[in-house]
Chains A and B, each alone.
Chain A
Amino acid sequence: QAVVTQEPSLTVSPGGTVTLTCASSTGAVTTASSPNWIQQKPGQPPRALIFSASNRYSWTPARFSGSLLGGKAALTLSGAQPEDEAEYYCLLLDSGAQAWVFGGGTKLTVL
């Protein structure tokens, strides 16, 4: 099954912009990989943010946006808030293995 790679950690200033990326060992990430982005805060269950690369759920703040960028999936946070400090996971469909695969997560610090 594919290996999905994310930045281990990133820091953003309050009000700033940061982009998290997600790469696959099987090649370019495309809409066929159906990228999802999941947020998890300490002690809480995961919460879905983005599906199918760029679609927000009804509860997803507009400051979060998803895209495909240079063969990777990307999650951009524009106007970071202290409450955005969390672990962010990318989830991709590995169609060859008929399974989904999480990335290792990016720990985002707002400081």
Chain B
Amino acid sequence: EVQVVESGGGLVQPGGSLRLSCAASGFSFGSFWMTWVRQAPGKGLEWVANISPDGSEKYFVDSVKGRFTITRDNAKNSLFLQMNSLRAEDTAMYYCARDHSYWGQGTLVSVSS
């Protein structure tokens, strides 16, 4: 069974950093693009970033460029999102997805003083 499970969310002050993780199982992790999507409270979905199977290609939404980094460890079937210089508008549920097909339950990030 394909599963992706996010972790690492929490409350952080503006300007702070947080690292999200996504543990994958049930498929050949190193063969698939992986994606992060977020959803602010009461709002729609926003595509954040994705990374190619070998990690050589990475793409970001304009609003997080220069602040967020996406990486993966294929040996550990894990995806990461390093979030720096966090702002209040980054407050959201963050979802990990295998390409855009299998989605996790999400991890909540709150940026507030």
Contact = CB atoms under 8 A, between A and B. Distances in A.
B66 interface: no
Contacts of B14: none
From DSSP, what is the main secondary structure of chain B's interface residues?
strand
A51 B46 contact: no
Contacts, number: 52
Contacts of A103: 44
Contacts of B35: 100
A48 B100 CA distance: 7
Nearest to B44: A105
Contacts of A36: 100
B21 interface: no
A100 B103 contact: no
A24 to B, nearest CB: 14
A17 interface: no
A91 B44 contact: no
Main secondary structure of the interface of A (DSSP, over half): strand
Interface residues of B, number: 20
B34 to A, nearest CB: 13
A91 B100 contact: yes
Interface size class of A (residues with CB under 8 A): 20 to 34
Nearest to B6: A45
22 contacts: A36-B100, A38-B100, A40-B45, A45-B105, A45-B106, A46-B37, A48-B100, A48-B102, A48-B103, A51-B100, A51-B101, A57-B101, A87-B44, A89-B44, A89-B45, A91-B100, A99-B47, A99-B60, A99-B61, A100-B59, A102-B37, A102-B46
Interface of B: 35, 37, 44-47, 50, 59-62, 95, 97, 100-106
